[in-house]
Structure 1
Amino acid sequence: MTREFTGWHMLGIMVVMFGTIIAVNLTLAYNAVKTFPGLETRNSYVVSQSFDADRAAQNALGWTLDTQLTHTQLSLAITDAQGAHVTPKIISATLGRATNVAQDMTPEFTIIDGVMRADVDAGAGYWNLRIVLEAEDGTQFRRRVQLTAK
């Protein structure tokens, strides 16, 4: 005995297919919003008004950052245009994942031979170091450095 394929069967197949697609999309959207790390700045227009001047002042410092991350240690060496080590004042430093703030940590740096080192608990994968430094002349130096701990 063969069963006839009716419109109700087709409707059932379509409901299951589209229901699956919608459920997956809603799950992905929920997880994207739940893990969103937040805004970089509250008012991007205000920040944009001084962006070029801030960037020029930072570039005028001539600083180069050399960062390394292992599972247990973060090191940051800053050199000026002449190659001399620079140890500026740290305004803020946050080491965290790019996609959420659950693992964010504030490294406590100690300076050893001109290199800033901090003990961290970093698992394998991609990390961001968001750091704000202050030069002797008061110029703020902001960077977001992408790191990989293997």
Structure 2
Amino acid sequence: MTKEIKGWHVATVFVLAFSVIISVNLVLAFNAVRTFPGLEVSNSYVASQTFDKDREAQLALNWDVSAALEGTKLTLTILEDGRPISPEIETVTFGRATNVQQDQTPQFEFDGHALHAIVQGGAGNWNLRIRARGANGDLFQQRIIVTVAK
């Protein structure tokens, strides 16, 4: 026995299919907005006015900066012309790339080779957002992708 497909059958399938699509889109959009970590700058136009000058001053510092995480030990290496340094750090935030819920403010100690801090890390994508001053007072600010030891 064959059932005939009527108009209300098609309408019901149509409404159910689009309800699923719209529901999934709303859930994804809500989670994207909820976990957004924030803006890099509050006003991009104002920041752009001094961008080239700031970038040249930062490049003139000639710093090579890297960060690595091994277990709970975060190591920040800042080399100036190949020599390790410990600059004045204004702000530093260790956290996930996609949300601010696990952000931490590490307290670094310099051992003559690198800066070290204890953090609650783990596997995954971590960033270190740093603002530091060179010996001449020039600002260095950068978001560094942290290398996580396997």
TM range (shorter): over 0.9
Q: Does structure 2 conserve the Cα–Cα contact (< 8 Å) formed by 1:79 and 1:86?
A: yes
* 1:75 matched residue in structure 2: 75
How far apart are 1:66 and its partner, in Å?
A: 2.8
* 1:62 matched residue in structure 2: 62
- Which deviates more from structure 2 when the two are superposed, residues 107-116 or residues 21-30? 107-116
| Alpha-carbon distance in 1 for matches of 2:79, 2:41 | 28
Moved over 6 A (4+): none
How far apart are 1:71 and its partner, in Å?
A: 2.6
* 2:17 matched residue in structure 1: 17
The one-letter code of the counterpart of 2:12 is: G
Change beyond 3 A, Cα 1:35–1:3: same
How far apart are 1:114 and its partner, in Å?
A: 3.1
Q: Does structure 2 conserve the Cα–Cα contact (< 8 Å) formed by 1:97 and 1:126?
A: yes
| Alpha-carbon distance in 2 for matches of 1:95, 1:73 | 12
Identity %: 50
The one-letter code of the counterpart of 1:115 is: A
* 1:46 matched residue in structure 2: 46
The aligned length equals: 149
Change beyond 3 A, Cα 1:36–1:66: closer
| Alpha-carbon distance in 2 for matches of 1:113, 1:137 | 20
Give me the TM-score of the superposition, normalised by structure 2.
0.95
Unaligned runs of 5+ in 2: none
Unaligned runs of 5+ in 1: none
| Alpha-carbon distance in 2 for matches of 1:148, 1:60 | 25
Q: Does structure 2 conserve the Cα–Cα contact (< 8 Å) formed by 1:124 and 1:148?
A: no
